[in-house]
Amino acid sequence: MRRATAGKTVLALCFVTAAVVALMRFREVQAASTLPTAPARQGEFLVITKCRGELRARRSVQITAPTNVPELRILWLVQPNSAVKEGDVVIRFDGSSARQQLQEKEAALKQAQETLNQGVAEARITAEADRRDLASARYDVERAKLEVSRLELLSAIQGEEARINLTLAENKLRVQQATGELHEASSRSKTASLTRLREQAQYEVDLTKERLSRMEVKAPLTGVIVYLPNYSQGWMNAKPFKIGDQVWPGASIAVVPDTQTLEMEGKVEEIDRGRVAAGNDVRVRVDSLPELTVPARIDELSSMAQVSFDWPPTYSFRAYARVGNADPRLRPEMNGTMEVIVSRIPNAISVPAKAVFTRSGKPVVFASTPKGYSPRQVEVIARNPDEVAIKGIAAGTQVALTEPETSEPGTGAGKK
């Protein structure tokens, strides 16, 4: 009886042991099949440092409202942030008031011209009458002189009358000469005054036409148009200019950045300043276009740190990377990331950064094997935020991206 009980106990223990072993094997197989892995890659490893930045144009031109043009109101404008070419009409102002003024000014010019023509004709008629009167007065003087020359043949009374007539004729001649000069001066003054009125009317017409020609504003260069805030309603209510807005003369309405001069202005942290230098290659990634990677190069790096307005305040340096062969979708003020290539390591073995763990103070990776995951001690050569260059494993080795709960027996790795 006791032997039977002991046999049953041994059998039960064997069964439990087999179940535990099977369960452990099942967990290992399950862990091996569910953990995410990635292969170790061999090739050039780019040591980078990342910094945030913003696209801006090195060259841009402002579009301003015409000066000396009253009652400007926007009638039409192109869509904000749209591409424009040099010479394209981008803004049109309401010219109905100016056209009405032009009609009035042209009518005033026509009236002034007719008044001038009439004044010139009257002056010509007056001058002709003065010439006739002057010729008649001269004739009378000559006839009076002839009568005086016949004094020997005339009586004393007739001779005295001849002398009196000569004096009267000479006086009349002098009066006529003075009258002619007065009329001529008056005509010149009147003609000059009418000419000035006509020139003023012509100036008003030309000015109104010139104002009408400035009712269409053209793009000064090829780029994208960005409308500036309209501060006519105060700083708190400022919004970009739009159709229907009243514009004061000379107001800055928009700016056209030259997209061929786009550059990324990045903020380099103090700890990375010593690693970054002018001439470093850069990969620019824009937040709104995650699929796009734009090559660039650092042209300039500030020598002094700038203080931020955050709390606590931080210090950073400014790096400017010119964007070559800019994508037409890129726009100024787009936020993005600058990946500055600090150095290049050829034929390096690299794995994702989250595949490297620490065991006993040393870096390890968990290589996938048929029996599970085996920890392999590695040497870190360089580290990026997303990728690490290492030594100690071969290219193509599958490594776990999360730390396994158990490891291969005999490796010394236990639970997390």
- Residue 29 in domain: no
Q: Is the pLDDT of residue 179 over 70?
A: yes
Determine contact, residues 326/260, Cβ cutoff 8 Å.
Answer: yes
**Which of 17-21, 231-235, 276-280 has maximum average pLDDT?**
276-280
Do 192 and 299 reside in the same domain of the chain?
no
Do 114 and 67 reside in the same domain of the chain?
no
**What whole-number distance in Å separates Cα of residue 136 and Cα of residue 169?**
10
pLDDT tens-digit map of 224-233: 899 999 887 7
Amino acid at 158: Q
Apex 120 CA angle, 117 and 124, nearest 5: 135
Query: What percent of the chain stands above pLDDT 90?
Result: 27
**What pLDDT does 149 receive?**
64
**What whole-number distance in Å separates Cα of residue 382 and Cα of residue 45?**
9
- Residue 274 in domain: yes
Determine contact, residues 71/206, Cβ cutoff 8 Å.
Answer: no
**What whole-number distance in Å separates Cα of residue 144 and Cα of residue 138?**
10
Q: What are the beta bridge partners of residue 240?
A: 229
Do 145 and 182 reside in the same domain of the chain?
yes
**What pLDDT does 205 receive?**
85
Do 293 and 338 reside in the same domain of the chain?
yes
Locate 368 and state its tokens.
């996938």
Q: Specify the CATH number for the domain of residue 238.
A: 2.40.50.100
Query: Which residue among 193, 225, 257 closes a domain?
Result: 257
Do 84 and 233 reside in the same domain of the chain?
yes
- Residue 304 in domain: yes
Do 222 and 90 reside in the same domain of the chain?
yes
Do 317 and 303 reside in the same domain of the chain?
yes
Do 102 and 201 reside in the same domain of the chain?
yes
C-beta neighbour count of 211 within 10 angstroms: 21
**What pLDDT does 24 receive?**
59
- Give the lowest-confidence range in 183-187, 252-256, 362-366: 183-187
- Give the lowest-confidence range in 43-47, 152-156, 364-368: 152-156
Determine contact, residues 174/81, Cβ cutoff 8 Å.
Answer: no
pLDDT tens-digit map of 102-146: 788 888 888 888 887 887 887 788 777 777 777 777 777 777 666
Q: Band of the pLDDT at 97, cuts 50, 70, 90?
A: confident
Helix, strand, coil share of the chain (percent; to 5): 40, 35, 25
Domain span at residue 266? 50-57+259-345
pTM above 0.85, yes or no: no
Do 126 and 234 reside in the same domain of the chain?
no
- Residue 396 in domain: no
- Residue 143 in domain: yes
Q: Specify the CATH number for the domain of residue 291.
A: 2.40.30.170
Length of the chain equals 416
Do 103 and 176 reside in the same domain of the chain?
yes
- Residue 265 in domain: yes
- Residue 244 in domain: yes
- Give the lowest-confidence range in 88-92, 114-118, 160-164, 363-367: 160-164
Do 221 and 321 reside in the same domain of the chain?
no
Domain count for the chain, please give it: 3
Do 160 and 263 reside in the same domain of the chain?
no
Q: Is the pLDDT of residue 27 over 60?
A: no
Pairing mode, if any, of strands 387-391 and 379-383? antiparallel
